[in-house]
Amino acid sequence: MGPFDKFHEECGIFGVFNHPEASNLTYLGLYALQHRGQESAGIVSSDGSALHVHKAMGLVADIFTEPVLKTLPGFSAIGHVRYSTTGSSQIKNAQPFVVSGGIGNVAIAHNGNLTNAMEIRKELESYGSIFQSTMDTEVIIHLMAISRERALLDRLMDALVRVQGAYSLLLMTEDTMIALRDPRGFRPLSIGTIDGATVVASESCAFDLIGAVFEREIEPGEIIYVDKKGVKSYKPFVPVKQSPCVFEFIYFARPDSIIFGKNVYEIRKELGRQLAREYPKEADIVIPVPDSGMPAAIGYAQEAGIPIELGLIRNHYVGRTFIEPKQSIRHFGVKIKLNPVREILRGKRVVVIDDSIVRATTGRKIIKMIRNGGAKEIHFLISSPPTRYPCFYGIDTPTKEELIANSHSMEEIREYITCDSLGYLSIEGLRHVVGGEQKPYCYACFDGRYPVEFPVRIPKPQMPLFYNL
């Protein structure tokens, strides 16, 4: 393992400036973003003269009890939820990071993944920088610390011109909040208002929960600077080709959110419709794999004119953090989460819809479950193209070798999954649904065309030990 034993992150960030209930709102915002990370959560608040921090492993609602929130006073706060594989689930890697020193007190929360962090870290360590964590985010702080500029924004720019990759960032000092997206705009980030205060969140669903008004998305390469005087917008980067992450639409974001100018549910449903056009099937029922396959299955059923049925029932009380370190127990996890409805499945020809296949271990279990439930024919259709390449920009995917579509033919995958037929959405179909050639997105996990280079020697990520259903 290299210095960054955690290369792959999925995260959510939330911030509020100038509101008497800053930490309570941040708690609620993180609660709405819990799907973006379940390993650790943290909030840093400011009362104008000092930063207060609380971070812990676990889920937002378990960590931030009323007494804990009372220890986070002030009018501004930023928060973070983090997902990672268990290998490095360490509290030292929980965010936001808080540093004090020459640059004053600064808290930082990051969603994304820097592709050249390791190089920079090695260089900084050779000059004597001492890192507290194994997170890529920390290099931004160190670069800010060694900057010869005085103003915070200038120090930040000094750091940002050095880093590459994906970053939606929130920074906070005692009396300012800064929110920004990298020039390519990999990860979403939106700005809103509540009672005259400014709020920022990875996804708009966080605004809905607290009753904030969604104003707009922060643009790729845009920096929002908030202090008592108001909100300022800067666009200091040389414009580059944008590449927001198309996988946010497919799987990662919540369906009720608006990201990259579109409602996620509508996109997923349209992906299902497109799937029906590409794979018309003679079938009796369409079954979604809950919850991620739900909107696409509705779209498929509507386009194909086949009734949709809930042939799999999900136990909603199983946390997403059902983490067990053995492959065999991961399969068991699927059974804990899903159960087939035999009365619906018996003797039927079924189309089963899921959003993606990564290793196919979950998919195989689910198909076997449906077969055991009595289905007579099973067509497994996936509302995204084959995932053949790992992500280096902040979504947790296994190494190339572990991605089943990278190392196996369609027929081999079908045989492994044990379905009667298998179909993936075409890349052209996906592109068409999200806006065609005019709308640039990152499709690298499907086509291997990486918008930002990454180091050749990539540390092998820990195996993700469970997948969200």
Residue ranges in contact with ligand SF4 by CB under 6 A: 186, 245-247, 391, 393, 395, 442-445
Identify what 107 binds: ligand SF4, Mg ion, ligand 5GP, none; CB under 5 to 8 Å per kind: none
Give 135-164 as a DSSP string. Answer: -TTHHHHHHHHH-S--SHHHHHHHHHTT--
CA distances 315 to 55, 60, 329, 338, Å, are 29, 20, 17, 6
Binding test (CB under 6 A) with ligand 5GP, winner from 272, 363, 385, 398: 363
Out of 11, 205, 245, 442, the active site residue is: 11
Closest of 387, 413, 409, 384 to residue 398, by C-alpha: 387
**Residue 316: count of CB within 10 angstroms of its CB:** 9
* Amino acid sitting at position 339: N
Residue 397 CB, shortest distance to ligand SF4, in Å, is 7
Residue 54 Cβ, how far from ligand SF4 at the closest point, in Å? Answer: 30
Q: State the minimum distance, in angstroms, from the CB of residue 173 to ligand SF4.
A: 30
From 101-109, 132-140, 190-198, 391-399, span contacting ligand 5GP (CB under 6 A) = 391-399
Reply yes or no on whether 245 is catalytic. no
Question: Taking phi first (over 0 means left), then psi (-120 to 50 degrees means alpha), and beta for anything else, what does residue 262 get?
Answer: beta
Q: Rule CB under 6 A: which of 321-340 touch ligand 5GP?
A: none
CA distance 32 to 215: 18
Question: CA–CA separation, 140 vs 145, rounded Å?
Answer: 9
| CB 386, min distance to ligand SF4, A | 12
Strands (E), 293-376: 312-314, 338-340, 349-354
Measured in residues, the chain has a length of 469
CA distance 80 to 167: 13
Residues 212-251 contacting ligand 5GP, CB under 6 A: 251
Told to check if 34 binds ligand 5GP by CB under 6 A, we report no
> What residues are paired with 285 via a beta bridge?
350
Q: Which does 361 bind (CB under 5 to 8 A by kind): Mg ion, ligand SF4, ligand 5GP, none?
A: ligand 5GP
Q: Which is nearer to ligand 5GP, 27 or 467 (CB)?
A: 467
Which entry of Mg ion, ligand SF4, ligand 5GP, none binds 357, CB below 5 to 8 A by partner kind?
ligand 5GP
Q: Select from ligand SF4, Mg ion, ligand 5GP, none the partner in contact with residue 380, using the beta carbon and a kind-dependent cut-off of 5 to 8 Å.
A: none
State the DSSP code for 93. Answer: G
Interaction between residue 469 and Mg ion (CB under 5 A) = yes
Structure token digits, residue 249: 């639409």
| Cis bond before residue 385 (omega within 30° of 0) | no
Both tokens of residue 358? 């990564």
Binding mask 266-305 for Mg ion (x = CB under 5 A): --------------------------x-------------
Shortest distance (Å) from residue 245 CB to ligand SF4? 3
On the 0-12 / 13-18 / 19+ scale of CB atoms within 10 A, 328 is exposed
Q: How far is CA 350 from CA 68, 226, 279, 359, in A?
A: 49, 53, 13, 22
- Determine, following the binding rule CB under 6 A, whether residue 167 of this chain makes contact with ligand 5GP: no
Contact 212, 32 (CB under 8 A): no
- Residue 210 or 433: the one with the smaller Cβ distance to ligand SF4 is 433
Is 424 within 8 Å of 384 (Cβ atoms)?
yes
Q: Which of the choices ligand 5GP, Mg ion, ligand SF4, none does residue 116 contact, using the CB cut-off of 5 to 8 A by kind?
A: none
Which entry of ligand SF4, Mg ion, ligand 5GP, none binds 225, CB below 5 to 8 A by partner kind?
A: none
Count, residues near ligand 5GP per rule CB under 6 A: 19
Number of residues that bind Mg ion (CB under 5 A): 2
Joined tokens for residue 356: 């993606």
Among 4, 17, 380, 467, binds ligand 5GP (CB under 6 A): 467
> What is the smallest separation between the CB atom of 290 and ligand SF4, expressed in angstroms?
22
396 near ligand 5GP (CB under 6 A):
yes
Q: What whole-number distance in Å separates Cα of residue 86 and Cα of residue 6?
A: 10
Active site residues: 11
Please report, as ranges, the residues that interact with ligand 5GP according to CB under 6 A: 251, 289, 292, 354-363, 395-397, 467-469
Which stretches of the chain bind Mg ion, using CB under 5 A?
292, 469
